[in-house]
A and B are shown apart, each in its own frame.
Chain A
């Protein structure tokens, strides 16, 4: 599995001309863990969603090259895209409260994902769902399969979401802020779970977040985005040697447990970063 992106642009029509939200992003993703970090509006989510062509209707997508293995995503029709979405690339979204169907049991939702891509009988799909729930380390998978999303905690909901994404056996997982709605300890658990599943199944991972330390903890490589561009690419272990002032600003403004300061450093934004 290899995703190749060259000069990706996403633009939106605005009252005064066109606004470009993603401005020439290039990246290659193989079987690795890639992090994309940036603030709101930096274009990180749009970049990731472009890979699945899951963009708002009015968005205009263009690129010199946008391929998933040898499939040209840019010119692919919906039929082709449906064979990639879910089946070959799973998308984990931020808040399980909104991304799960509130009126279906979790088991039925996972079984639906299973049958849509793999076929098979209802009974088989249900058994697969319970098995998947066990794989995402839910202690009582039979009970959870029969419960509704509102009966589960945020962390459990996110595990269900992950189980559903695993059902078709994708080659890559795209996780868009998978833990921002969760609290700190649960956050670590979910990240560990994703990490573990990704390496055990040999999947690729694209992890999108605004939390630079968290991302670099779990990824091999990190792209830092600012205002629709990749301003810096780093190996996770080289984070301390970040060159771009924006990346340095992101790291410098964090309150520290071990090194207390009276005043936090506030980022001075240089208009030159936009150029």
Chain B
């Protein structure tokens, strides 16, 4: 089995005349988690959608689990690679019960023992059994995101693609979902690729992090380097400074730049 789960080389995506992603290369080891951060429009979600097979207009080389992937993917690919979207309010079918949402991938991929699998999937994401025959609007945001995670996991994938999985959730619910994701990764030796803009959240879950800006990866660092601020690119340094300042304020009540409300100005 290949050591590298995902290998991307010279990925390029164009929307009309716009280069959304220009020559992005990255590799993710099996069983590890990789973070992509950057501002809106930097192309991080576009990279994720190419990996997921949701965007066929790209060029470059892509290997997943050692197999070369073309824009058109095999059916089994969509079982092995799953995605969790940002907004659990928009990503679950409002007219389908949780039971139907979870059964559908099982039917599509020809699994047996659907009833047991749905029950176990709900258990695994700590949802009450009663949630099974509810509709999405009857669940809270955190519960909905758990359903989205259960749906992604139910087809026994190897790779989970996470597009800002907690940014639509309350801070108090975010911790629960992040803990769930890190438990599941070690229990099932999954490979994660996570997109986000909150450095603390991405660093919590990922061991390596790439920073994107205008369609390019400007820096790839380890979580440790990022924590201590061992960074070279100004954009990453900015993000880091702001994050650390807010934390400093919470712990001591003092902002390192003096009075609260005064953030060190950005260097451009």
Question: Which residues of A line the B interface, CB within 8 A?
Answer: 33, 39-40, 153-154, 182-186, 188-189, 192, 195, 210-214, 216-219, 236-241, 249-251, 253-260, 262-267
Contacts and interface: CB of A to CB of B under 8 A. Distances in A.
B204 A195 contact: no
Contacts of A237: 253-254, 260
A195 B170 CA distance: 24
Interface string B205-227: 00000000000000000010011
A191 to B, nearest CB: 8
Interface of B: 39-41, 141, 170-176, 178-179, 182, 197-201, 203-204, 223, 226-227, 235, 238-240, 242-247, 249-255, 260-261, 263, 266
A33 B247 CA distance: 20
A184 B243 CA distance: 9
Given A213-B247, A216-B249, A264-B179, A188 B172 contact: no
A154 B40 contact: yes
A217 B263 contact: yes
Given A184-B242, A255-B204, A257-B199, A239 B250 contact: yes
Contacts of B198: 184
A213 B249 contact: yes
Contacts of A211: 171
A262 B178 CA distance: 10
Contacts of B173: 39
Contacts of B238: 185
A264 B175 contact: yes
Nearest to B203: A257
Contact of B171 (A218, A241, A253): A253
Q: Which 8 A-B pairs have the closest CB atoms?
A: A253-B175, A255-B204, A264-B175, A39-B170, A237-B253, A213-B246, A183-B197, A255-B200
A196 to B, nearest CB: 9
A217 B261 contact: yes
Contacts of A266: 175-176, 179
A110 B116 CA distance: 58
A251 B250 contact: yes
A254 B174 CA distance: 8
Contact of B227 (A236, A239, A257, A264): A257
20 contacts: A39-B170, A39-B172, A39-B173, A154-B40, A183-B39, A184-B243, A185-B235, A212-B250, A213-B246, A217-B255, A236-B249, A240-B250, A240-B251, A253-B174, A253-B175, A254-B171, A257-B226, A257-B227, A257-B240, A262-B182
